[in-house]
Structure 1
């Protein structure tokens, strides 16, 4: 399938964040605000391939999943993040599809992935799981990450609630003493729709909203293959 074929069949939308429905009063004190562009594609792999991939993730045993860690410390901190991860999960069909749309994504986000390689893993969120606001890269943390991607898998109808990806505006809300506050930020939420994928810059602040899964069964989890296109270190 060519890039043009995917562009024609998929819902590719460069979506900018919009103010939240109920912003805090301190939003009026924001000095500046810049929406973050997110490239979202639905029906990314198609029914057959996505179903096969979903069957593989639901068949994973507990032994392959480890508590998810936070940032470079590699520590488990359930105050910040609660989920399970399989770093060894392989999805070559997903990487092929990403490569097919790479040019479109690069153009949409205004970046280049030339000379990068993919690093990714499977993340599983079940009842009560979440990942608080964070960045995937900063000047001193994983600066080699150029592009973030998150591909969603789940049973339909969706057997859990919540789990939206929340992407925050770039903004500088301030209080009277000049301190930045989270309450003043605005955002846009993206539902974890089966067989959809989102791309955005790793420097964007984002979070996984809390998941509610009444059955608490593994197969009813919010599954996501997320990773980054990363630059190789200079030799």
Structure 2
């Protein structure tokens, strides 16, 4: 193959054991590659190891064993400060519970994501306005989260995740707190980002969310299996 798509996430024999007593192996040794531009869904029951997988991929936890390469960088061979910098630059997080600061505007919440990167104020302001427009919330940029609907709050959270121009968007149950119509709108937004080339990994137990991905990885008792699937038909 002449065209080699670079891997954004590469796990090599990655496993995670939490100390006991008794010790718990939350993730069995696994290999996983997610290449640039893929939309991967990770499904599994509660307690299966989904959160552990997300925390390792998001550089929130270090695996007990194995190697994790993010954009080709061996994440175990860098300092904690370098890991934090890598996380803030390369990874955008979207959680079920939004994690917005209630007394700061949508614009401020998005700008705060760039503070760690020493981005100057004017650039922060312009970039925040751009990503809020991109998620359809430019007209609500000065609103406080308490004055926004759940769907609008999740759009702000997605804008915040995009502000750093990450190479990877990690979403943990991104529609878990939303009604079905709002959830569909958020999933359509993620579809649009994927079409623009964003690499997306979504953790979910919701079949409607899982149906959106190109690849489905199932995790059960800490073991990963990949489900081959038919090519998704466009609606």
Interval containing the TM-score (normalised by the shorter chain): under 0.3
Give 1 or 2: higher helix fraction: 2
> Structure 1 length normalisation: TM-score?
0.26
Structure ranking higher on relative contact order (CA contacts 8 Å, 6+ apart): 1
Give 1 or 2: higher strand fraction: 1
